[in-house]
Structure 1
């Protein structure tokens, strides 16, 4: 029953109540039993960045499936459309040896996110370095010919479809550089407010927490201001900037508003904020930075988005820890 599945999924994914029927059916089939099993083991369903442990488990799952089926590469397995002569055989083997179940073994995340992560890791077209000027011009020509059919263009350019979509967003206009004008900033604010309002109306929730709400509820409400926003849609409404610029600028605007214009990380108070951040992270006793609940760490620095705290941690690590790439988080 669809309603029963939706209610059961809400225990693990609160936004399940607003998900489409197709998504609920897919997750009920691929994820619900896994989520329940992880719950018995005391393991919570995770979102956000994959930890090193999860990446290693995913690589192990892929390697074992290749060994089991005889498919000779992860690229063939995950991008069978690039090999039309083998595609039918690959699809048959995936069904016969339960690819969905094998791929997600030991990883407490929705199957769809695991699959997307695998495609990112094992796509050789993701590791081709910077775009040359010739490639940029080629991308513009292909987009003019085929529109936003990134899958088709990706085959022609031997780049991943995600890579070329993002690159086109960056290069499609010559005016998306330099300081933001007041008009651009206001367009950005209006665009973000519009998408947040639509989301809240859809969820039948209020934008601000009432005074009776717990601090956890307040945190969830604030996360809606910057997490999982549709940046491609916002980019379109702004018109003169690509999505990454919009995201970075919005976080700057939001941080300023949350702190009433006060500049953080300056002088003596800034030094104390760094010390507080280091202490808080040490107290967590986690082994991987991806296991940190950054939303709960925010108050060590101030009233800021979690992404701001993550950026400050990264800057501290790079500037103060010798050979940090070779060290573990713990």
Structure 2
């Protein structure tokens, strides 16, 4: 029964209690058997960013399914609605050859996430480069006609849903690119408070968060401060900045608050942070960035925000690792540990 299924799924997906009954039924059919098999093999169900290995497996699964069924492109397989004349045939082949099982083979993640990842990987509309001025004008016109129906707009522009939504966020109004004013910063803080308060109330509906509490506890609960935030909503509340600027400013504020103003970027402190970061990354033995627990790593090297640590790592690889774009994550870490670390320690 549904209650039993939900209980079993909770072992693999802790937040399953917040998932609708219809979605749980689908997961029971698509995921539960796979999850049991992965458990027998000692493999945990994963979330978050996909690894290179998983991306390759998805690519392999899609190619094998195309070969098996004779469907002539991944776009037809994953975006069947774009080919109405072939839709019935493709749907029949998907059912006949067990599309759900095949596409998720060898990947310990919920089927839905694997499917979305495959769509992102194989959507030709995701890789169209920069928007031209003509495209930007079209985007404004289509948004005026269709509102925030990004699926409709993406079809009209041959761009992905996410691409058109994010681009419109950037161009919809005059954006300030100068230094943040006190008023803008306060709007950002107020917007983040509203979001965090709502999150707390959703988690504890029986204990509403008071205004006084929201002005104190929210700013000292590190776990809450590091949660992903709805930046497009925050952008709307700030008004004069687009979402990426809001996120960058918030990360800057967060770093300052959580480190209580310590000098992180100068002299010995700066060098020691780099050394600690390289050592800790090497100790993780991670094959991919998605395998790193950035929150734990941030705590270990100095209780920094994860965004600060991720930015620090990015700057390290760009400035210290030659041809880093051609190297795997583990190769980058090995280079930093074997070549860069001794140089830093000598300077220290």
TM-score, length-normalised on structure 2?
Answer: 0.85
> Do the aligned residues in 2 keep the contact of 1:31 with 1:110 (CA within 8 Å)?
yes
Q: Which residue of 1 aligns with 2:268?
A: 268
Distance 1:19 1:222, change over 3 A: farther
Report how many residues are paired: 318
Distance 1:132 1:86, change over 3 A: same
Q: Which residue of 1 aligns with 2:250?
A: 250
Structure 2 residue matching 1:11: 3-state secondary structure: helix
Q: Which residue of 2 aligns with 1:129?
A: 129
Q: Which residue of 2 aligns with 1:62?
A: 62
TM-score, length-normalised on structure 1?
Answer: 0.90
Structure 2 residue matching 1:5: 3-state secondary structure: helix
Specify every segment of 5 or more residues in structure 2 that has no aligned partner in the other structure, as ranges.
Answer: 209-220, 331-348
In 1, distance between residues paired with 2:88 and 2:122? 20
The 5 Å alignment of 1:9-48 reads 9-48=9-48
Distance 1:308 1:284, change over 3 A: same
> Do the aligned residues in 2 keep the contact of 1:318 with 1:324 (CA within 8 Å)?
yes
In 1, distance between residues paired with 2:122 and 2:64? 14
The alignment status of 1:198 with 2:198, answered yes or no, reads: yes
Distance 1:124 1:223, change over 3 A: farther
Q: Deviations over 1:80-108 (max 9, x none)?
A: 11111112221221122111111111111
> Do the aligned residues in 1 keep the contact of 2:175 with 2:242 (CA within 8 Å)?
no
Q: Deviations over 1:161-216 (max 9, x none)?
A: 11111100111011343222222222222222222222222222999xxxxxxxxx
- Between 89-98 and 139-148, the greater mean CA deviation after superposition: 89-98
Between structure 1 and structure 2, the one with the greater Rg is 2
Structure 2 residue matching 1:65: 3-state secondary structure: helix
Q: Deviations over 1:68-87 (max 9, x none)?
A: 11111011111111111112
- Between 273-282 and 93-102, the greater mean CA deviation after superposition: 93-102
Structure 1 residue matching 2:120: 3-state secondary structure: helix
Q: Which residue of 1 aligns with 2:103?
A: 103
In 1, distance between residues paired with 2:197 and 2:234? 13
Q: CA deviation at 1:127?
A: 0.9
In 2, distance between residues paired with 1:202 and 1:104? 32
Q: Which residue of 1 aligns with 2:232?
A: 232
Q: CA deviation at 1:316?
A: 0.3
In 1, distance between residues paired with 2:39 and 2:307? 28
Q: Which residue of 2 aligns with 1:84?
A: 84
Q: Which residue of 2 aligns with 1:326?
A: 326
Q: Which residue of 2 aligns with 1:313?
A: 313
In 2, distance between residues paired with 1:22 and 1:172? 37
- Between 131-140 and 302-311, the greater mean CA deviation after superposition: 302-311
Distance 1:256 1:118, change over 3 A: same
Q: Deviations over 1:255-288 (max 9, x none)?
A: 2111122242321111011001111111122222
In 2, distance between residues paired with 1:326 and 1:97? 37
Q: Which residue of 2 aligns with 1:214?
A: none
Distance 1:67 1:328, change over 3 A: same
Q: Deviations over 1:121-160 (max 9, x none)?
A: 1011111110011111111011111111111211221111
Structure 1 residue matching 2:25: 3-state secondary structure: helix
Q: CA deviation at 1:226?
A: 3.0
> Do the aligned residues in 2 keep the contact of 1:51 with 1:290 (CA within 8 Å)?
yes
Q: Which residue of 2 aligns with 1:7?
A: 7
> Do the aligned residues in 2 keep the contact of 1:38 with 1:44 (CA within 8 Å)?
yes
Q: CA deviation at 1:300?
A: 4.1
